[in-house]
Structure 1
Amino acid sequence: MRKDAPATGGTGRSGASPARSTRFYAAVSIAAALATVGLKAGAYVLTGSVGLLSDAAESSANLVAAIGAFWALSAAARPPDEEHAYGHTKAEFFSSALEGALVLAAAAFIAATAVGRLFEPQPLENVGAGLVVSLVAAVLNGVVGLVLLRAGGRLRSAALRADGRHLLTDVWTTAGVVAGVLLVGWTGWLFLDPLIALVVAANIVWVGLRILNEAAHGLLDTALPPEDLRVVEAVISRYRESGIEFHALRTRSAGARRFVSMHVLVPGSWSVRRGHDLSEDLEREVVEELPMTTVFVHLEPLEDESSFRDQGLDRPDLEEPPPGS
């Protein structure tokens, strides 16, 4: 049994951690959020636009979320211990849930402010200067958002992916707000400013719900995505060709780490050493194909009918019969 395997029997093997720390990207996100909040708050002060205020409110939520992501990623990087034998990588999903909740709170604030401004329109000032400041903030958000999305995909980080999506959404938010403020300046229709803010709020709600949905799936131990499962099945199929059987394949992910467990059925006449060597080879091949994976293998005798009735299934009709029965 390997050191990081739980004391429930079987063998376990884990892939190595990624070389680049996710906390570096979280720190970049914090710096970008500080800059954009300052820029957008300045744009609001210059113009008095509630649309630009809504843009600044969304970025403020992103700043708090980025700080939460940095904490979560720091916790997720901690190695397994006696109380957390499977590691701490699920902390990332708490960060995503926090970001989703903050996004929804920002949307509620924006909507409340915009409704009040609909009934009491106010003229805008220094529109040109305010829009230039907002566009600078949008470019910064776009660059950092793309960096975070790519890093989140490469490092399998839910927190970085959520932050990246939020920043890119913020870019579209700014674009919509800028368009609305320009229309107000050209037409003099003051109601367009709060109307654009309400559209922004609706879009933010959609993004927040998507982020919360991903966090919920992570916390509920959703199986690995189909592309990862195909990799595991490809490894298993190579062993089936030599007469080895498999069942009870279970997978899940926790942040950047994957977990795969399976029952491997081999001839009962095999020695312990032969079965152990097979398990080691199988685990190594899965980890080579899917880095950052912990694999647990449970060996069983192929001839024993009870080997086909220990899959932990609640429905007897789903149990597999032994071959040839």
Structure 2
Amino acid sequence: MIRKELRIILLSLGISLLLTVAKFVAYFFTHSVAILSDALESIINVVAGGFACYSIYLTGKPKDENHPYGHGKVEFFSIGFEGAMIFIAGILILFKAGQYFIMQPELEKIGHGIWLITGTSVANLLLGIYLVKSGRNLRSITLSGNGQHILTDAYSSVALIAALVIIHYTGLRWLDPAVSAAMGILILRKGYQLMRQSISGLMDETDMKVVDQVIGILNRHRHEHPNWIDVHNMRVQQYGNNYHIDCHVTLPYYLELTLVHEEIKAMENLVNKELEGHEVEFFIHVDPCIPSSCPHCTLMECPVRSHPYEHTIGWTRENVLPNRKHTA
């Protein structure tokens, strides 16, 4: 799968390089600061694509003594780097737009620029959709992040084309720096979003969607494993395409060690089987049951039950994430 990701990102890098050249050709034809802004953003596509190639290469390396959880965290560095580059490009674009508001150069050959930017916009749109779809299928945040950036480039190019058409037919040259400034703001926003995603991953911010998926899997199968009295203190960390989950599981205190191991292994196997596209590593701490567990314990043939069964407590974020046993 890693080799496929590398092929896709290398294709993206090659196409981005060609489109960047085309945009600079359009700038030299027209002297439009809006087209220059678009070309500057495309340079970031190329730089970020190169870094993405390296991050995907590292992600594919196996775990070792220095990296016991693998190398997947580098993907968050990748999208953070790309976000920072996009943010810097946005600042430069706003600065250049300000200069052109003060001193507006004569625009030339707008028609040539329109056709060139239209071609690059269509190519970027198709490439961005392909990368986002591939990232979703391969569970690669690097491909998805790169695709989202390229889609932003394509959408901003549509506004640029509209402005160039208006300038071509009306001669309103002030639209050129105005559109450039609008593109700069849009680019700044996208850069911030990618950096925010990067920081969240590096700080191990909990992905509640994944937590809900794991809880859902356990809820669907808990009737097959009545020894699973409760699950709590769950924490989820993402390492590229893999997840590390640690949690506490309450089991009957009298179970033999071999049976405890089987119950824990069953839980791990179920989540790995149903959380498709991800490798999930568990670290599970086993807690013994206590008398207050009896009212919601579904092990009806328990030989040491001290209180009759009353009701089942559904597992949700509210009782699975905190570090406390479930009580009736």
| TM-score for the superposition, normalised by structure 1 | 0.85
Q: How many Å separate the matches in 1 of 2:198 and 2:326? A: 39
Q: How many Å separate the matches in 1 of 2:214 and 2:325? A: 23
Query: What CA deviation, in whole Å up to 9, does each residue of 1:154-206 have, x standing for no partner?
Result: 22222211111111110111111111122212111211111111111011111
Does the Cα contact within 8 Å between 1:222 and 1:253 map onto a contact in 2? no
Does the Cα contact within 8 Å between 1:47 and 1:126 map onto a contact in 2? yes
Give the equivalent residue in structure 1 for 2:305.
Answer: none
Q: How many Å separate the matches in 2 of 1:322 and 1:106? A: 51
Alignment gaps of 5+ in structure 1: 1-17, 306-317
Map 1:71-220 → 2, pairs under 5 A: 71-220=54-203
Q: How many Å separate the matches in 1 of 2:252 and 2:88? A: 59
1:299 to 240, 263, 286: 286
Give the equivalent residue in structure 1 for 2:248.
Answer: 263
**Percentage identity across paired residues of the two chains:** 28
Q: How many Å separate the matches in 2 of 1:121 and 1:174? A: 21
What's the secondary structure of 2:165's corresponding residue? helix
Q: How many Å separate the matches in 2 of 1:198 and 1:319? A: 50
What's the secondary structure of 1:21's corresponding residue? helix
Given the superposition, is the C-alpha separation of residues 41 and 19 from structure 1 closer, same or farther in structure 2, using an over 3 Å criterion? closer
Q: CA deviation at 1:243?
A: 4.0
Give the equivalent residue in structure 2 for 1:8.
Answer: none
Give the equivalent residue in structure 2 for 1:308.
Answer: none
Q: How many Å separate the matches in 2 of 1:322 and 1:281? A: 21
Given the superposition, is the C-alpha separation of residues 62 and 322 from structure 1 closer, same or farther in structure 2, using an over 3 Å criterion? closer
Does the Cα contact within 8 Å between 1:231 and 1:289 map onto a contact in 2? no
Q: How many Å separate the matches in 2 of 1:189 and 1:319? A: 64
Task: Count residues with an aligned counterpart.
Answer: 294
Does the Cα contact within 8 Å between 1:218 and 1:255 map onto a contact in 2? no
Amino acid paired to 1:112: F
What's the secondary structure of 2:204's corresponding residue? coil
Q: CA deviation at 1:219?
A: 0.8
Does the Cα contact within 8 Å between 2:232 and 2:323 map onto a contact in 1? no
Amino acid paired to 1:84: H
2:20 to 37, 56, 71: 37
2:208 to 225, 238, 244: 225
Given the superposition, is the C-alpha separation of residues 42 and 321 from structure 1 closer, same or farther in structure 2, using an over 3 Å criterion? closer
Q: How many Å separate the matches in 1 of 2:174 and 2:323? A: 64
2:263 to 262, 266, 278: 278
Query: What CA deviation, in whole Å up to 9, does each residue of 1:295-325 have, x standing for no partner?
Result: 22222322499xxxxxxxxxxxx7536757x
| TM-score for the superposition, normalised by structure 2 | 0.84
What's the secondary structure of 2:253's corresponding residue? coil
Alignment gaps of 5+ in structure 2: 293-321
Q: How many Å separate the matches in 1 of 2:215 and 2:139? A: 21
Q: How many Å separate the matches in 2 of 1:177 and 1:322? A: 58
Does the Cα contact within 8 Å between 2:228 and 2:250 map onto a contact in 1? yes
Given the superposition, is the C-alpha separation of residues 288 and 111 from structure 1 closer, same or farther in structure 2, using an over 3 Å criterion? same
CA RMSD of aligned residues (A): 1.9
Give the equivalent residue in structure 2 for 1:242.
Answer: 226
What's the secondary structure of 1:172's corresponding residue? helix
Q: How many Å separate the matches in 1 of 2:211 and 2:118? A: 43
Q: How many Å separate the matches in 1 of 2:145 and 2:81? A: 10
Q: How many Å separate the matches in 2 of 1:97 and 1:59? A: 17
Query: What CA deviation, in whole Å up to 9, does each residue of 1:97-121 have, x standing for no partner?
Result: 1111111111111112111111111
